[in-house]
Amino acid sequence: MASILDDDPRIIEFDVRTDEMLVNMGPQHPSTHGVLRLVLRTDGEIVSEVEPHIGYLHRCAEKIGENLTARQWIPYTDRMDYLAAMNMNLGWSLAVEKLMKYEVSEKARHLRVLIAELGRIASHLVGMGAYGLDLGTFSPFLYAFRERERILDLFEEACGARLTYSYITVGGLTADLPPGWLQRCEAFLDQFEPVIKEYHALLTTNAIFVKRTANIGVMSREMAIDYGCSGPVLRGSGVDQDLRRDGEAIYTAMYDGYAFEVAVMKNGRYPRDHEYPPVPPDAVIGDCWHRFFVRMIEVVQSMDLVRQAIDRYSACKGTIGEPLKLTEKIPAGDAYLETECPKGQMGFYVVGDGTAIPWRARARSSSFSNLSVTADLCRGCLIADVPAIVGSLDIVMGEIDR
Amino acid sequence: MQVTRGPGFLDQLDAALPGAVTGRNLEALDPWIEVAPGRIAEVCHWLKRSSPVRFDSLECITAVDWHEPDPKKAAKVSWQPRIELVYHLWSTPARVSLVLKCGLPRWKDDQPGSLPELPSVTGVWRGADWHEREVYDLSGVWFTGHPDLRRILCPEDWEGHPLRKDYVQPVEYHGIRNR
Amino acid sequence: MVEYLIDRVGLPGWLAWTAAAALAAVLILNVIAGGALVFIWAERKIAARIQDRLGPTRTGGKFGWLQSLADGIKLLAKEDLMPDGADGMLFRLAPYVSFCASFCAFIALPFAFDFVGLRLNVAVFFVVAVLGLEVFGVILAGYASASKWSLFGSMREAAQVVSYEVPLGMCVVVPVMLAGSMDMVTIAEKQAGWFWNWYLFHDPFTFVIFWVYVTCAVASVNRAPFDLAEAESELVAGFHTEYSGLRWSFFFMAEYGSMFLVSAMAAVLFLGGWNGPVPLATLAGLSEGTGDTAGYLVRLLGMVNLLGKATLGVLVMMWIRWTLPRLRIDQVMTTCLKYCTPIAAVMFAGAMLWQLFLPGGLVPGMRRPAGEIREGWLEGPGGRAAASAPTGSGDLVLVPAAQVRP
């Protein structure tokens, strides 16, 4: 609309409104934990919208699973959550065993607990260290890797691999532990326990860390459940759920007789079976700090579980038994089983048609559901909060893209 | 702790939504109920909002393609060719799970290439968004009412739906040989 | 030295001046550049030790002490990349702006009495101002890189540095007020004697303001936890994302140069400059005033003192960097505007009142009144002019070091 004002040379228009900018964070970016691509719509430092794009690591593992026998697919589960490959192996093995109604020997059961909990510690160590990286502190990452290295050494001794183990398999485990392994494992635990205090000093209770994480990315209980979040992300929002206690019988039977507490804030407080640092006053249930803290508690809980498993395993006589044949036939029918993996509830769904090759193999990824909250959580935060929030979800792209 | 439905539960569902439940198998490993495809959203809504056991979390949506591409074997198979959608639900307060199944024709109106449709459950669980996108992407099922149904794992211009049993991998993608 | 060149060698005045200036420039440039290399090596070693690893061990024999040099050669050999969309001239110019600003400030920094490139009566002002110019290089780099991450980095840097100049300025003014001079040589001289003569221990307010200065200094040279301009977990590498090879290394050198500079400033302003905690030279009967061998020895000792203090400051910055997470931009601004600035203002007022009512300190006789220290030997030929000129006129009077002492 033209008006006389437009021609008035005395009137100068100022436009102080700033433009929005679209920024690609990833797929090559230091803090997106792999090949995650986040498209940020930013207004200065404020992020108005985040759209995650995934699939850069997609290998269609499920299609591969339809062309291999159940045991042959184990190495592909390794490559889903490659930071907790033991737990992935366990999830698929249990799902197939559920369909086959197979039960492993008592000794193998305790060995599985032992290995899975060590895997959880290793995974949480990476999660913790990488979270430090996301917030700009480098040293805790290397401290975490120092300890993880020792777990990997133990794994290597047990199964020969350091990252993709294929150790736990359908019908048991591929091998028994070598002699002296348990002593070395105990030595590791004894050495590791006091170190956790350092992590708390460097991260959990660090004033800047608290400032960066407390009250950031607050996810309500309802939202966490609605999005199907699981694991530390769900428990960080105050939902008291851990499949090791609440899961299906075939899974909880594995932990039968083990004592541990679910790392969740109940009635305003966390479990007190060990010494944990106090919750800072700024932290709100469901924020990044709580998600992180839940992982730190779980590390301690897992250490307890490993100790118990060592005792029970050594008390067992006999052998762990042989795993099933590679070409073992799977009965017709379907079975779905979720296990409590370090990143969350990892579900495997197997549909058999009577042959050795599953008709359908499906992996329900916990990180996939956990990541889907990003768009909602990051709306209106600052750019620096995006890595803080995504990091607190502790995702691994291999599992999301499968 | 997974079996949830005593007879009372199913009766209530039947009473609330007559005709929605078309079949059941309570003896299976994971006992399931079959839901008419067009009414899946209603059923889910009831399960989340009104049922005595609130299924507040959607764990997983799986599409199983019951199709035998080999004509020789196809003659012998015991099943009806169909796409079966499997919904795994979880109730956080009661800590129990529930399985819903939905049979769909492999192609809408038996026209190969036109995707079968069923209502989206994104209105019930926000987490269904990505799961439905994944099913659409990999198995080729169209969810009506989904706010933003596009490919999620494959590139946007990918052809075909890889988890279909009769899927043929394209020879070439943007000049990259696949086979 | 100018007199020496004119009188003994017989050079014309302008040539003597140029030669002296060139010599000073070459000396400073090389010492600082060499120092930066040493600091880069030290940072790698310290970071490694903090992180429970070894760091460089092989290059140059033991301890990998030649690692920085090897890195430098590698950077020289690297391909020089520039994004297509970049503004070529500004892109090339930016590292040099940063580099020059950072190194320029060393001209006015005294390493010991007389060991100063150019004795300015407004040295404090000069150093702070020139150091502030460094930000232009960063802004240019971010703007010219045609990368959104770089732009974010440079905008953050601009906001941050401009904000932190305010409390930094207030902190710096306190020693200036106590010494009654902006001349850094004078300021350091006033703190001679035992360590309780240092301005750090002058009164409680200066003690507090020193820590404010430390915070602001770390922020103004973009070191962790204030390294938002390059925040690698958010902005890939911030303003230098698109830089490679030698140009990138110039940013690096500038960063280490500035770190050293602000640490040396802290040493001069608060930690007694080149005066050690214990006046060893005075106790031993040596004096700086004579200009003979003993005097040079004393100054050399003073230089070691100052370099030691500055290095300690740099090491502390490294220690902080490898320990703490990074703040967020709003928290950085909050720290500056809500904490540093008011605290600095209050401390400034406090220090002023203290100076007014308790000039001699709480314990009578412990501290000599400001201004009485070594008046005697400051009043040598030429020294009078140097000492009195800054306080007298408001003009920028450049007094070359060579004129201060024959």
Say if A173 is an interface residue toward chain C (CB within 8 Å): no
| Measured distance CA(C313)–CA(C36) in Å, rounded | 14
Q: Residue A123: pLDDT band by 50, 70, 90 thresholds? A: very high
Rama region for C360: left / alpha / beta (φ>0; ψ in -120 to 50; rest)? alpha
ipTM over 0.95? The verdict is no
Nearest by CB: A349 against B58, B60, B151: B60
The residues near C292 (Cβ < 8 Å, ≥ 6 apart) are none
> Using one digit for the tens of pLDDT, what is the confidence trace for A208-263?
889 888 888 888 888 899 898 888 999 888 888 888 888 888 888 888 888 888 88
Place of tokens 């609309």: A1
Partner A, chain C 125-154, Cβ-Cβ below 8 Å: 148-149, 152
Mean pLDDT of chain A: 86
Nearest by CB: A387 against C52, C53, C234: C234
If you average pLDDT over residues B112-122, what whole number do you get? 86
Is the residue at B51 inside a domain?
yes
Tokens of A274: 């060990």
Say if A333 is an interface residue toward chain B (CB within 8 Å): yes
CATH for A121: 1.10.645.10
Choose the mutation target among A59, A60, A102, A340 for the interface with B, i.e. most B CBs under 10 Å: A60
Q: Alpha helices, DSSP H only, in C64-122? A: 67-77, 88-104
Is the residue at A243 inside a domain?
yes
Alpha carbon distance, N-terminus to C-terminus of chain B: 46
Question: Count of CB contacts below 8 A, A vs C?
Answer: 85
Show the domain range for B126: 7-177
- Closest B-chain CA to A346: B59
- Residue B64 to residue A360, Cβ atoms within 8 A: yes
**pLDDT top residue among B142 and A13:** B142
Residues of A with Cβ-Cβ distance to C50 under 8 angstroms: 139
Distance, in angstroms, between C330 CA and closest chain A CA? 9
> Using one digit for the tens of pLDDT, what is the confidence trace for A323-360?
888 888 888 888 999 999 999 898 899 998 888 889 88
**pLDDT top residue among C404 and A367:** A367
> Using one digit for the tens of pLDDT, what is the confidence trace for B95-107?
888 888 888 888 8
Is the residue at A93 inside a domain?
yes
pLDDT at A177 over 80: yes
- Residue A137 to residue C51, Cβ atoms within 8 A: no
Distance, in angstroms, between A85 CA and closest chain B CA? 21
Distance, in angstroms, between A193 CA and closest chain B CA? 33
If you average pLDDT over residues A145-158, what whole number do you get? 90
* Residue C3 confidence (pLDDT): 64
Mean pLDDT of chain C: 77
Choose the mutation target among A208, A288, A382 for the interface with C, i.e. most C CBs under 10 Å: A208
> Using one digit for the tens of pLDDT, what is the confidence trace for B14-68?
777 787 788 877 777 888 888 888 888 888 888 888 877 888 888 889 999 888 7
* Residue C63 confidence (pLDDT): 81
Q: H-helix or E-strand containing B119?
A: strand B117-119
Nearest by CB: C233 against A23, A45, A135: A135
Nearest by CB: C52 against A134, A135, A142: A142
Is the residue at A15 inside a domain?
no
Say if C247 is an interface residue toward chain A (CB within 8 Å): no
Say if A134 is an interface residue toward chain C (CB within 8 Å): yes
Say if C17 is an interface residue toward chain A (CB within 8 Å): no
Count up the domains in chain B and report the number.
1
Is the residue at A4 inside a domain?
no
Q: Residue A121: pLDDT band by 50, 70, 90 thresholds? A: very high
* Residue C283 confidence (pLDDT): 66
Is the residue at A253 inside a domain?
yes
Question: Count of CB contacts below 8 A, A vs B?
Answer: 100
Give φ, ψ of B65 to 5 degrees. -90, 105
Residues lower than pLDDT 50 in chain C: 369-406
Tokens of C95: 């590292």
Distance, in angstroms, between A402 CA and closest chain B CA? 9
How many other β-carbons are positioned within 10 Å of the β-carbon of residue A39?
Answer: 14
* Residue A16 confidence (pLDDT): 58
Give φ, ψ of B98 to 5 degrees. -145, 140
Mean pLDDT of chain B: 83
Q: What is the 3-state secondary structure (H, E, C) of chain A?
A: CCCHHHHCCCCCCCCCCCCCEEEEECCCCCCCCCCCEEEEEEECCEEEEEEEECCCCCCCHHHHHCCCCCHHHHHHHHCCCCCCHHHHHHHHHHHHHHHHCCCCCHHHHHHHHHHHHHHHHHHHHHHHHHHHHHCCCCHHHHHHHHHHHHHHHHHHHHHCCCCCCCCEECCEECCCCCCCHHHHHHHHHHHHHHHHHHHHHHHHCCHHHHHHHCCCCCCCHHHHHHCCCCCHHHHHCCCCCCHHHHCCHHHHHHHCCCCCCCCCCECCECCCCCCCCCCCCCCCCCCHHHHHHHHHHHHHHHHHHHHHHHHHHHHCCCCCCCCCCCCCCCCCEEEEEEEEECCEEEEEEEEECCCCCCCEEEEECHHHHHHCCHHHHCCCCECCHHHHHHHHHCCCHHHHHC
Please state whether the predicted TM-score (pTM) of the whole model is above 0.90.
no
Residues of C with Cβ-Cβ distance to A45 under 8 angstroms: 152, 156, 329-330
Say if A97 is an interface residue toward chain C (CB within 8 Å): no
- Measure the CA angle with vertex C16, ends C10 and C21; round to 5°: 160
Q: What subunits touch chain C, counting only 3 or more CB pairs under 8 A?
A: A
Distance, in angstroms, between A401 CA and closest chain B CA? 6
Distance, in angstroms, between A195 CA and closest chain C CA? 13
Residues of C with Cβ-Cβ distance to A143 under 8 angstroms: 51-52
Task: Transcribe B10-64 into DSSP letters.
Answer: HHHHHHHSTT-EEEEESSSSS-EEEE-GGGHHHHHHHHHHTSSS---EEEEEEEE
Residues of B with Cβ-Cβ distance to A393 under 8 angstroms: none
Residues of A with Cβ-Cβ distance to C225 under 8 angstroms: 136, 208
| Measured distance CA(B74)–CA(B165) in Å, rounded | 12
Nearest by CB: C51 against A135, A136, A139: A139
Tokens of C155: 């905008």
Q: Are A121 and A106 in contact (CB under 8 A)?
A: no
Show the domain range for A277: 21-401
Is the residue at B2 inside a domain?
no
CATH for B140: 3.30.460.80
Q: Alpha helices, DSSP H only, in C146-286? A: 148-179, 184-190, 204-220, 232-235, 245-270, 280-283
Count up the domains in chain A and report the number.
1
Is the residue at A5 inside a domain?
no
Q: Residue A11: pLDDT band by 50, 70, 90 thresholds? A: low
* Residue A317 confidence (pLDDT): 82
Is the residue at A352 inside a domain?
yes
Is the residue at B1 inside a domain?
no
> Using one digit for the tens of pLDDT, what is the confidence trace for A46-83?
888 888 888 888 888 888 988 888 888 999 998 888 88
Nearest by CB: C225 against A29, A142, A208: A208
- Residue A383 to residue C327, Cβ atoms within 8 A: no
Distance, in angstroms, between A370 CA and closest chain B CA? 9
Say if A249 is an interface residue toward chain B (CB within 8 Å): yes
Residues of A with Cβ-Cβ distance to C149 under 8 angstroms: 23
